A = this chain, B = another copy of it.
Amino acid sequence: MDPHLLRTFVEVAETGSFSAAAERLNFTQSAVSQQIAALESDLGTSLLTRRPVRLTEAGERLRRHAKILLVRLEAARADVTRTSAPPGRLTLGLTPLAWSAPVAAALTRIRAESARLATRLLVAPLDRIVTATATGALDLGLVDGFTAPSDPLRLPEPGDPRSLRVAECPAVVAVPSGHPLARRTSVDLADLADAYWIDAPGVTPFRRLPVDGLRAGLHYDGAESTVLTGLIAAGHGLAVLPEWLLTGRADLAAIPLGVPRLVHRVELLRAPGVVDPAGPASLLAALLAP
């Protein structure tokens, strides 16, 4: 179970080809073949079918473990080799809906206080932010999700349990302002089982829809929240969204959620070893004290 072997195994699993994996990793086909054979003989199990190259059940399990292990290995290296000197620039990553008013304000304050600190910003899906933060590619990651009030987010591996709460706001059902439900003061999702929903995994942090059993009338694959709100306003369907996204919009109504009780929550992830790259008083404080 050498990480080297795991790395090529993951590559083979994802490309579906020994030769393609070899090319990516700058090996020969032969070497890849031998490495996979070594893994299989070590574990005493077949991991891949050949021709076509597909994962066996054991292989699929190993792939999941291996991806996590490789990230954590990188994370460990990043943590150990991190110099104690404060970095010259700050790299910050966000999921699309983690960018809210308090975060914007905090960032403004940070940049005003430490103008010398060059800042890089990246917006990407949850998984990318989580792994990039774990490996130290990002100094800080802001991620969002829906949970029960005051519950921590359940992050995908290798999410760091030391994440800090940054903001929490009510989760609402977004409907067009002319919608029959628009004046309701509260709805339960169960009452909306017959409605059509917009499934937008790139925007909202649900993998699919917030609750099983809801029908998606439209699947939106982008990450642009204005497109999603536009689709809702145009009557293509409903979605569960954080309340702040809808404030000030005349074309949309926000209906508070009754059951299940959900909030939209933003948490701050730190790269291993990062306490506060901009000094103890400024960055974390700015993000955490809105």
Cross-chain contact of A68 among B1, B2, B43, B72 (Cβ < 8 A): B72
Decide: A66 and B76 in contact? CB cutoff 8 A.
Answer: yes
- Per-residue interface assignment for chain A, residues 219 to 245, with 1 indicating a CB less than 8 Å from any chain B CB and 0 otherwise: 000000000000000000000000000
Cross-interface CB contact of A45 among B58, B65, B80, B154, cutoff 8 Å = B80
Q: Check A168 for interface membership: any CB of B closer than 8 A.
A: no
In the docked arrangement, what's the CA distance between A148 and B43, Å? 42
Most B Cβ at <10 Å: residue of A47, A73, A150, A272: A73
Q: Which residue of B lies closest to A157 (CB)?
A: B161
Please determine whether B68 and A80 come into contact, CB atoms closer than 8 angstroms: no
The reply to whether B151 and A151 contact each other, CB–CB distance below 8 Å, is yes
Within 8 A of B (CB), among A37-91: 43-45, 47, 58, 61-62, 65-66, 68-69, 72-73, 75-77, 79-81
Are B75 and A65 interface neighbours, CB within 8 A? yes
Is A217 on the interface with B (CB-CB < 8 A)?
no
Hey, which chain B residues are within 8 Å of A61, CB to CB?
A: 76, 79-80, 272-273
Contact of A81 among B44, B72, B73, B273 (CB under 8 A): B44
B76 touches A69 (CB 8 A): yes
Q: Is A279 an interface residue (CB 8 A)?
A: no
> Which residue on B lies nearest to A42, using beta carbons?
B77
Q: What is the interface size of chain A, counting residues whose CB is below 8 A from a CB of the partner?
A: 29
Do residues A72 and B69 form an inter-chain contact, with CB atoms below 8 A? yes
The residue that A80 contacts in the complex, of B58, B73, B76, B151, with Cβ under 8 A, is B58
Return chain B residues, CB-CB under 8 Å to A44. 81
A3 contacts the other chain (CB 8 A): yes
Q: Which residue of B lies closest to A83 (CB)?
A: B45
The answer on a CB contact under 8 Å between B1 and A1 is no
A117 to chain B, nearest CB (A): 24
Which one, B3, B47, B148, contacts A3 given CB within 8 A? B3
In the bound complex, do residue B43 and residue A81 qualify as a contact, i.e. CB atoms below 8 Å apart?
A: yes
Instruction: Collect the chain B residues with CB atoms within 8 Å of residue A68's CB.
Output: 72
Taken together as a complex, chains A and B put the C-alpha atoms of A65 and B69 apart, in Å, by 11
Residues of A within 8 A of B (CB): 1-3, 43-45, 47, 58, 61-62, 65-66, 68-69, 72-73, 75-77, 79-81, 148, 150-151, 154, 161, 272-273
By Cβ-Cβ distance, the 8 closest A-B pairs, closest first, are: A65-B76, A62-B80, A58-B80, A61-B79, A61-B80, A43-B80, A43-B81, A1-B73
Besides the contacts A2-B2, A3-B3, what 13 more A-B pairs have beta carbons closer than 8 Å?
Answer: A1-B73, A45-B80, A47-B80, A61-B80, A61-B272, A65-B75, A65-B79, A65-B272, A69-B69, A69-B72, A69-B73, A72-B72, A148-B150
Residue pairs across A and B with Cβ atoms less than 8 A apart, 7 shown, are: A1-B73, A2-B2, A43-B77, A43-B80, A47-B80, A65-B72, A69-B69
